[in-house]
Amino acid sequence: MYLAKANYKEENVVQILTPPLKEILNENTVVVCIGTDRAIGDTLGPLVGTMLKNSDFKYPVYGTLDNPIHALNIYESIDYIKNAHTKGTFLAIDACLGSKNNIGNIQIRKGPILPGKGVGKKLPQIGNHSIVGIVDKIDENNRFSFNNVRLSFILELAETIALSLLLST
């Protein structure tokens, strides 16, 4: 279920994303940013996490460029985070694949993220709520076509998500 969705190029994108985030965030919020810096299309989560950490965001943030949460460490990371925040309300952030005409959309959803789904991996889900940025289209093999994803595009998506979260506190 979508709580909000907007394209990062829309003039009022932050004004669209901020109100539902204000409703989601509470004293138990823990932000979990999924992804890796080893593939441009998958850097969205760690970029947002790094931006929030560097901005003194008031809620705990996991998953940054320095300490990413990715397929190789996701099980241990989620166990650690859930044990450290037993009353946590988790907001997960990740890159996502979608149809070509949805690239650049940012969606705030009720419910968890299914990490790795777009690349055919079955990993543990995380999040009471989630934010996804659609970074690329699903190709015929259900794989990322990383060669088409520009870092400047991912950076703009990350800045928009981070700003929306910062303005929601």
- What is the tens place of the pLDDT at every residue in 1-33? 889 999 999 999 999 999 999 999 999 999 999
CB contact at 8 A, 31 and 38: no
Domain boundaries, the chain: 2-167
Q: How far apart are CA 3 and CA 60, in angstroms?
A: 22
The tokens of 130 are what? 């989630």
The tokens of 119 are what? 């690349």
Question: pTM here?
Answer: 0.94
- What is the tens place of the pLDDT at every residue in 76-119? 999 999 999 999 999 999 999 889 999 999 999 999 998 877 66
The structural architecture, per CATH, of the domain 2-167 is: 3-Layer(aba) Sandwich (3.40)
CB contact at 8 A, 146 and 132: no
The tokens of 32 are what? 């979990």
